[in-house]
Amino acid sequence: MSAQSSLETPLAHFPVSRLPSGRLGNLVIDPRAGIGPDDAAIIAIYLSPALRVSRDRHGTAIAQLVQAGVLPNPVLSYSRDFITGGNTVDTTTAYNFTATWEISALVPLLAKQSAARANLRSVDLDVAWTEWQLAENARTAIYRVVGLREELASAREAEQELTQSAEAMRAATEAHEKTLLDFGAAKAAQQDAQATTLGLEQESEKQLLVLKRTLGIPSESEVRLRNGIGLPAHLDPPGQRALMDGLENRRLDLVALQEGYRSQGATVRAAILAQFPRITIGGSKASDTTNVHTEGFNISIDLPVFDRNQGVIATERATRQRLLDEYQLRVFEAHSDIATALADIRSLNKQVAASEQALPAFEGLVTSAEAALREGNTDVLAYYTARSGLLQRRIQLIKLKEQLLEAQAALELASGRFLPTNAAMHVK
């Protein structure tokens, strides 16, 4: 199914059983009504080219599992000896037929199959972890687009007001009611607002392209966001202890590393069992030139005197130790990431609250400065400085809310849990 045709389907049903959260149920996605964060997560999981590449590893792991159960082929040989001269009385053509098979291949068979099965589980879990990360990235990308659009709306509103103010100041200057200095201050404020708007437009357009890339849809396709997607002003995540309990059995990459370690342990056992002498057994049937027929058997043993598979065993053991160290490092980093994300959320909650409390004061300052300007009790520069400060405060508040969402996404990735948030984050 192509990416574009999927988005143009009036009602597309996407099962989300592969998501670790398991809480989203079955979503009915109607692109005509717009997509929300959870819709974006599902679309990205099913359409992303990056995931298709990652899922190809499953086929490779299946092939390795099949190969692990393959036994060596038996070896058949047949030869004939023709009489070409000499004393040929009472002689006949001789032949020799043998059949052999390497019986020692059975020794490491179970260990190889155990390693391949564990590796298949590890690969599938690792792919699921990649899907989980991409789903989080898609949800975060939606919120970033929403945040930038809110910033852009505030910047455009301020630019429009300042443009009208600059035009009024131009008329007043031409009527000799205001000075060139007043008009210059108004024009500078309008140009600053315009520069802010242009910068946000560029950033918003770039983020929209990032969203399309994350979703796995062509850059020329139209993406419509669902109405009512809000940014949170406060988050109440679970406590650190609750997030860390059961982390090793919940985060898919950690479980994948556990399966990889089991697979490597079985590989080490297979390498040790491969020290067993190579034994080949077989039977033979022959006839010589005097027409004497014989039947027998043969056994060959490869004595491990010099090559005892010690190099392979050392390599596999070192790989197993590396996997163990990587697992322990990943667990340590996960604990640290959870603590960092929780600290960021607590800090951002306070910053958002402080910014929201300060915003009315800046709005009142602009109102007071505007009234004082009309009465001639302040200069134009002070008024436009207040207006610029209000715009920056509004944009800063939206950016803080975006950072709060990013900290939420980081916490979900670090803990491997889908964390329900307050109603401000839900699609209305």
The band of 40, judged by pLDDT with boundaries at 50, 70 and 90, is confident
DSSP 105: G
Cβ atoms of 40 and 137 closer than 8 Å: no
Domain assignment present for 327: yes
Domain assignment present for 161: yes
* Residue 156, C-beta contacts closer than 8 angstroms, at least 6 positions apart: 197
Domain assignment present for 98: no
What share of the chain in percent tops pLDDT 70?
90
Q: Is the pLDDT of residue 259 over 80?
A: yes
pLDDT (0 to 100) of residue 161: 83
Low-confidence winner among 86-90, 107-111, 155-159 (lowest mean pLDDT): 86-90
Cβ atoms of 54 and 127 closer than 8 Å: yes
User: For the CA atoms of 99, 105, 106, 109, what is the dihedral angle to 10 degrees?
Assistant: -140
Please report which residue ranges of 26-108 form alpha helices under DSSP H: 37-47, 49-68
* Residue 144, C-beta contacts closer than 8 angstroms, at least 6 positions apart: 207, 210, 211, 402, 405
Q: Is the pLDDT of residue 8 over 60?
A: no
What end-to-end distance do the CA atoms of the chain give, in Å?
A: 30
pLDDT (0 to 100) of residue 30: 61
Q: Which domain holds residue 164?
A: 3-70+107-274+309-425
- Could you read off the pLDDT of 85-96 as tens digits, one per residue? 888 788 888 999
Domain assignment present for 21: yes
22 or 322, which is more confident: 322
Cβ atoms of 46 and 55 closer than 8 Å: no
Using DSSP's 3-state secondary structure scheme, residue 286 falls into strand
* Residue 372, C-beta contacts closer than 8 angstroms, at least 6 positions apart: 378, 383
Q: 46 in the Ramachandran plot: left (φ > 0), alpha (ψ -120 to 50) or beta?
A: alpha
Region 290-314: mean pLDDT is 86
Using DSSP's 3-state secondary structure scheme, residue 18 falls into coil
Please tell me the distance from the alpha carbon of residue 237 to that of residue 353, in angstroms, as a whole number: 17
Q: Is the pLDDT of residue 3 over 50?
A: no
Region 328-338: mean pLDDT is 94
Region 382-410: mean pLDDT is 88
Pairing of β 94-102 and β 278-287? antiparallel
Q: Is the pLDDT of residue 283 over 60?
A: yes
Domain assignment present for 339: yes
Q: Is the pLDDT of residue 338 over 90?
A: yes
The band of 28, judged by pLDDT with boundaries at 50, 70 and 90, is low
- In the predicted model, what is the mean pLDDT of the chain? 84
Please tell me the distance from the alpha carbon of residue 60 to that of residue 62, in angstroms, as a whole number: 5
Domain assignment present for 100: no
Region 259-269: mean pLDDT is 93
Q: Is the pLDDT of residue 264 over 90?
A: yes
Q: Is the pLDDT of residue 4 over 50?
A: no
Pairing of β 27-29 and β 278-287? unpaired
Domain assignment present for 181: yes
The band of 27, judged by pLDDT with boundaries at 50, 70 and 90, is low
Domain assignment present for 77: no
- 278: enclosing H helix or E strand: strand 278-287
Number of domains in the chain: 1
Region 392-414: mean pLDDT is 92
| Residue 268 in tokens | 């080490």
What's 133's domain CATH number?
1.20.1600.10
pLDDT (0 to 100) of residue 51: 84
Count how many residues are written for the chain: 428
pLDDT (0 to 100) of residue 278: 85
pLDDT (0 to 100) of residue 421: 54
Using DSSP's 3-state secondary structure scheme, residue 37 falls into helix
DSSP 423: G
The band of 175, judged by pLDDT with boundaries at 50, 70 and 90, is confident
Pairing of β 27-29 and β 293-302? unpaired
pLDDT (0 to 100) of residue 13: 36
Q: What is the largest CA-CA distance in the chain?
A: 140
